[in-house]
């Protein structure tokens, strides 16, 4: 499961709340948005390669 990275929570002195469902929804949305951007970025390159193959006959 994806939980927020809280390095200060790893020590014995941590008195804050434990990461859980409250944190999961916003982090999941952020993660999915970053994945979407990386996939979108590769789409242009793939389209250029397909066009080059068709036009140049490669």
Query: What is the C-alpha to C-alpha distance for residues 16 and 56, in angstroms, rounded to an integer?
Result: 61
Inside any domain, residue 38: yes
Residue 3 has pLDDT above 60, yes or no: no
Residue 45 has pLDDT above 80, yes or no: yes
Residue 46 has pLDDT above 60, yes or no: yes
Residue-number span of the structural domain to which 34 is assigned: 7-56
Tally of structural domains, the chain? 1
Inside any domain, residue 52: yes
Inside any domain, residue 2: no
Inside any domain, residue 1: no
Residue 58 has pLDDT above 80, yes or no: no
Q: Structure pTM?
A: 0.36
The predicted pLDDT at position 1 comes to 46
Inside any domain, residue 29: yes
**Contact predicate 3/31, CB 8 Å:** no
Compute the average pLDDT of residues 12-25. 68
């Amino acid at each position: 499961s994806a939980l927020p990275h809280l390095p200060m929570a790893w020590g014995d002195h941590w008195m804050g709340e434990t990461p859980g469902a409250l944190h999961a929804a916003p982090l999941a949305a952020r993660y999915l948005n970053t994945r979407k951007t990386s996939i979108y970025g590769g789409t242009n390159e793939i389209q250029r390669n397909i066009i080059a193959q068709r036009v140049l006959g490669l």
